[in-house]
Structure 1
Amino acid sequence: MENIKLAIVTKDRDYGRALSLALVDAYKTFTITLYQSDPLHNQLESFDLVLMDSEEGIGGKFIGLAEKPSLADRDYEKKAFSLYKYTNVRQLAGELLFIYSFLTGRKAVPIKNHSVKVIAFGAAEGGAGCTSAAMALAQELKRFHGKRVLYLSLEELESTLEFMQPFPEGKSISEYLYYLFNDDAGQRMPFIESFLVFDDYGVDSFLPAPGRNLLKGLNGEEMQSFIGAIMDTGRYDFLIIDVGCDLGKSALCTYELANHICLVSLRPQSCYKEERMLEYLTFLKGELIIDRMAKILNRAAPSSIEEADAEPENKSHDEELLTTAAVLPFDPASFTLREGICKISLDSPYGSGIKKLTDAILNNALV
């Protein structure tokens, strides 16, 4: 990725230094020069973007820094932008990247990263707890193992923002898909940073669209292109995909691409729906898909945990093929609501099950 040259013009030296360091930390290819007094105009010609601690003279690459959120403005028709100077720095970086792309026509260059691991969470029926388990794994990987993680949801109506705080004026996944599939650049992709939200630990996700989840409408080829574009950003070590009980084209493509598939269930032994699901997947994708699947027993009572640890007799063929990789106990105390955001305690019985699952994935010992 080419360096993007920024100039910050502000008389507040401490703010300028803090903003410079934070922006470089948020996006490594920013190179920043700080000016405490107004430089000569020709000194700014070489910069891609100029952030000015003023509302005067903005337009084009000269971007204002507003003191209040109500004073921020984005006029794409006039190419005049003013951004709230105290907003979350990752959100500010994302907006700057989008403006840079809009003004210059330049896009992110694919890195072709093939080391990303895709972990899919699925279930044979709704209400099994795929979302909580997938989000908890993402947070465990990021918080305790330093992995770069993107969480994706295939829910009809996403619950992503139950775990992450949205940003005003944020750009959603619907806009990302538009640029990805309709941009004349074709072989290039938009800056993904402009479309992300994130939780307290740094797990990323796309800002959901206001209505139906557009990922559910992608066909297999489109879903493969979408996941490939994310991999090519070079930003992530893991993609955690909450498939739920969907068996549509985008879900089937996810299962095909996944390194590991976690089948979340509320029962120690396979139920009728789970058996039919496994039969359907093996019919479409071949029996080798079973080699990448493991069972996650969720909301387990003590008796169910003992049953999962034991060697039950008279197993069906499907049960013999799917091992139980982790047991997540029924533990409502692990989930709390703070300022409208669901927090998952990883230092809890539920978290212990997630840690076991994480260790299995990191050691390639899930199945």
Structure 2
Amino acid sequence: MDLSLPPASPATAEGFLRRPLLDAHGALQGYELASAGGRQTARALLQQADLPQLAKHRLLVLPATPACLDDLPLDQLPPEHLVLLVDTPAGDDPAEIERLLPVLAALRARKVRLAFGMTALKKAYSGWLGLAHYIRVDLAALAPQRLDMVVSFITRQTPAEAIATGVHHAEQVEQLRALGVTLFQGDWFSRPSAKAKGVIQPSQGVLIEMINLLQRGADAHEIAPLIKRDPSLSFNLLRVINAASNGFAFEVTSLQHAVMLLGNKRLLRWAAALMAQARAPGAAPALAPVALTRGRLMELLARELLSPQDCDNAFVTGVFSLLDALLDMPMADALGSLALPEPVADVLLRGQGLLAPFLVLTIACENHDDAAFARAAEELHLTGAQINWAHLQALAWADEVSTGW
């Protein structure tokens, strides 16, 4: 498979951004997608070539203006995995509200899910509410004393589930869950908890020890006995080395042989990816696919611009940018136990170095940060089409890896 970035073009699409959509247990349910700058809506996003692969397992929430609802290319995606976040008409125009009612009903009849913002709770949209699958509750735009009333109305008076946006703390999740909110957007899951204990779990400890050995240039005779201490690591390594994609004509049954065949660079990547899975107790399951997406996206963006060694470091940087949340401790403490390449530590501890703009761009893609996205893309001389390609490849890869473990 050719994994080089597509060539730059003066007429490329805008880059797209995403927000993870999580349930109350912190498991990833889907993504809300939007274009950088907010100028493209569902029609343009539906034309992304790799979107169907991503929609196999996740909900995809796409912004939809009233003007684009009549002629959407819906055949590319499973309709039950597509959510249209429909804007309300400007000025709550009664004629436009009425005109769109049969359009929305036809979309729902095709099993497309419909989502509306809090504006749709106005009396003028009473006909729309019966078609809603989701209502978004924007915590930043809602007075705290009105939260209970709004969520209660959604859950009791409409067929819709409530999606809370702008959630920044685990305590908010518990409060909202008690009120009946089922889906959440925000960055609370990617931070260490308020009561971070900083206790390394046994599986994490083995991986940390392995990473440190690899950084010292240890050979298979030292690394294989360490892997044997954790049966799940042993099984995973042999599964990886015997995968059809490696092309070996024989089955590898010896851990020492597997370590020799993979080599230290690939073992470091493997250990970093496994660290994303070995999260602290209570940490959100979504951390794994999000961390893996960050690593893969940074690696793909770096491929045309940096050396192979720097690309490996880009992958590790992306995964370990969530190490504080994965280990539930401050980043300085988390990195203090690891011997990491200097370029990785430069970015994660000091926000500087060759890989810094790649991490800025990667996080901007995840947080709907238009300004940071534009600055980093310009600094790296990457077009929207190039970033989109890498972004979708990274999402699909992370989804496949995280669901396969």
TM-score, normalised to structure 1's length?
0.27
Q: Which has the higher contact order (CA 8 A, sep 6+)?
A: 2
Q: Which structure dedicates a bigger proportion of its chain to strand? A: 1
